[in-house]
Structure 1
Amino acid sequence: MIKTIITFIIVFGILVVIHEFGHYYFAKRAGILVREFSIGMGPKILSFHRGSTTYTLRILPLGGYVRMAGIADDEDEDLKPGMPMSLILDSNNKVTKINTSKKTTLYNGIPIEYLDSDLQKELWITGYENGNEEIVKKYNVDHDALIIEKDGTEIQIAPEDVQFQSATLWNRILTNFAGPMNNFLLAIVAFILLAFMQGGVATNSNQIGTIQENSAAQRAGLKANDKIVAVADKKTTNWTELTTAISSRPDKKTDLKVIRNGKTELIVITPESSKTDSTKTGKIGITVKMDHSFINKITYGFTQSWSVVASIVAVLVGMFTKGVSLNDFGGPVAIYAVTSNAASYGLASVVSLLAFLSINLGIVNLLPIPALDGGKLVLNIIEGIRGKPISPEKEGVITLVGFAFLMILMILVTWNDIQRYFF
């Protein structure tokens, strides 16, 4: 149980960090202010501010986010007239820190009763200082000033010149695409690592790699590097055809045509019966020939990633052409259940799961659904065609609708997963 939980947190954490780092890196590269980089959701556990970004760790390890200045979900907490706050000024009497939190005390801070502000264009704030309502004080605010939010998190204010919409369209497209892109890159690296952990890459040949001890293959006299070219007079040219032919003959005496050292031999074998999901299949105890070359271990990361992408896309197409079922989806509960199974098989299985989930996350995020990266890319494309962006109000409504849809879907999928895996 503890092993599964730790594995789940590590796997999910790696997926989130790598995905969000893609958005973070390209946003920074484009001059977009990243106000917060959060791992986890919900209440804050700890945070620290470095450069222009605040890094936070939150209590629920079920996601994360990069909070970029000026996008729909980067709304400052409402600053309402009458709100008490305190200000820190520099030697030029410019505000460098605005505290709106009751959890934080700014020593040497100037207490004010807030009246109004412009923290995006002209950078000023007004209020009554020390309770003196006879004089309205106006303070200039530094471009890189910090604001302490109600939960005590320090983030930088978001002047207009560092907001998301101030970046070029191309840079915004790259920033939106970078998260899924990083997931695909992670999968490639994970599959390369898996190839090295396994000592090589499985070939799809009809040549035997190893013979298992006390197996039907060992008793029949099969040896490593033998090529099985026919099973019960049925030709086999690759591993898929070979295993399919043997699987169809449980407990049946079977003739194998084998090439050994350039000579053809006939070996009689009886595949052992193995029951899976009430279906009997035959097995003889052989493993596929492995390719141990360095170059194939590297290329395996690319070929296997492409294979998984193709299979997932095929499933998605099938879902929308043949009908969609909640069983076609899997949320955190399903991932936890699969992680538990992978953890029981060892590190190689966990690495393989990480690669598969990373590709899943990348593809799902590219779906053209508002609030997902794919939906944002659609808006970028529309902007490119129109020659001007969609109004922030309309974009906010579209994003809100998409977010509501995702939340409803997540609730339904989670409930379905609980019933599937625990009842």
Structure 2
Amino acid sequence: MFSILISLILIGVLVIAHEFGHFIAAKKSGILVEEFSIGMGTKIFSRQMGETEFSIRLLPLGGFCRMQDQEEDGTIGPRSFLNKSVGVRFIVMFAGPFMNFLLAFIMIIGLTSTSYTAFPKIKEVLPGTPAQEIGLQAGDEMYRINGKRIHIYDELEAQIYKSGGEELRLDVMRDNQVYTYKLTPKYDAQRKGYLIGFAPEIHVGLFAEAVEGYSKISISDTMYYSYYSMLNYVKLTAEGLARVFTFTADKDEYGGPISIVKMVGDSYEAGMTYGVKEAVQNVIYIGAVLSANLGVLNLFPIPALDGGRILLLLVEAIRRRPLNPDLESKIHFLGFAFLMGLMVFVLYGDIVKVFA
């Protein structure tokens, strides 16, 4: 029950951030926001504040920001979403996912400032490893792998994992010069992954307790690391969701509400073996990943999602006239039906995992 409570609070924060993005962009654009709701289904609490009704609904998944639309007689209200230009409507739609990216960025800043951060720079080359065999040295910085720029250690790990043990081309920065090497990662049975064989440079967060032998991370490096860490989550999420939507993903790559609750609960309990601070950090880490997930998911060009509405706005801009309202409604309905089918698919996968 405690895991469920933490998960609901976390999901609630992500939803509030997302809908607040739509809300503030709409208000600043002069659009009438009739209701700001957290949750879906039956209304269990509501309060009128100014011209907007703020409500909480029974199903604690999702939410919405209902703006003025067409009147009953079919006319468009003066402060309607539809009465605004394509550019304004684009900003209002994009503001929701943007707030999720911003929230993920802020969460990662908090984690980077209070814990340890690994950078793709060699502190020590381990003996008997591929890194030693090709002549990598302490102080070398991983610059590119197979032509892809490396900014943070997580990107390095992801590229090594994707390699599947195949040969890699490493571009290494040493004394302001780039040196190119070819290296084949070595499988480590204990870690169940491929390694190239070096200990990375680690910095202590600005607000973390100082540790002898480790330098404090600077403010600029904190922002740098947090930004590229957020972008890495976005990239990995987009790749994973593309596989889910095309039904090519492995069952372990996706999960629904049950998986989220279990993941949050397991992370919290694992952190509590060390202390409350570590437990909170683990939950915030999951929150950052989920926030990036939510932002990317909503930008996918699927009708009924923000990305689908943005796609239709682009079509409208190209055509220089809006789509037929009935046609647009049918498109969104088909998108909603697809999402409901996908949800059933994901929930089925959750249930199978539980019984397994």
Which of 120, 128, 149 is the equivalent residue of 1:204?
120
Which of 309, 323, 335 is the equivalent residue of 1:390?
323
Shift of the alpha carbon at 1:421? 3.0
> Which runs of structure 2 are paired with 1:203-352 in the superposition (5 Å)?
203-207=119-123, 227-228=124-125, 230-231=127-128, 234=133, 235-236=135-136, 237=140, 275=190, 289-290=202-203, 291-316=216-241, 323-324=248-249, 327-344=252-269, 345=271, 346-352=279-285
Deviations along 1:162-194, whole A, 9 cap, x unmatched? 111111111100011111111111111111011
SS at 1:206 equivalent: strand
Cross-structure match for 2:168: none
d(CA) in 2 for partners of 1:385 and 1:119?
A: 29
Task: Give the helix-richer structure, 1 or 2.
Answer: 2
Matched, 1:411 2:344: yes
d(CA) in 2 for partners of 1:334 and 1:26?
A: 32
SS at 1:205 equivalent: strand
Task: Give the strand-richer structure, 1 or 2.
Answer: 1
Cross-structure match for 2:93: 176
SS at 1:162 equivalent: coil
Q: CA RMSD in A?
A: 3.3
Cross-structure match for 2:60: 61
d(CA) in 2 for partners of 1:201 and 1:275?
A: 23
Whichever residue aligns with residue 248 of structure 2, its letter is: G
Cross-structure match for 2:303: 370
Question: Which of structures 1 and 2 has the larger relative contact order (alpha carbons within 8 angstroms, sep 6+)?
Answer: 2
TM-score by length of 2: 0.72
Q: 1:372 to 1:190 in 2, by over 3 A?
A: same
Q: 1:417 to 1:377 in 2, by over 3 A?
A: same
Q: 1:28 to 1:320 in 2, by over 3 A?
A: closer
CA contact (8 A) 1:194 1:348 kept: yes
Shift of the alpha carbon at 1:196? 1.0
Identity %: 34
Aligned length: 290
Cross-structure match for 2:177: none
Deviations along 1:29-84, whole A, 9 cap, x unmatched? 1111111101112222211001110000112211111111117xxx9xxxxxxxxx
d(CA) in 2 for partners of 1:229 and 1:59?
A: 55
Cross-structure match for 2:161: none
Cross-structure match for 2:19: 20
d(CA) in 2 for partners of 1:343 and 1:37?
A: 30
CA contact (8 A) 2:36 2:55 kept: yes
Deviations along 1:315-363, whole A, 9 cap, x unmatched? 3456678935555432212211211122122111111111111111111
Whichever residue aligns with residue 383 of structure 1, its letter is: E
Q: 1:318 to 1:393 in 2, by over 3 A?
A: closer
Whichever residue aligns with residue 336 of structure 1, its letter is: V
Which runs of no fewer than 5 residues in structure 2 stay unpaired? 143-152, 158-187, 204-215, 272-278
Whichever residue aligns with residue 58 of structure 2, its letter is: I
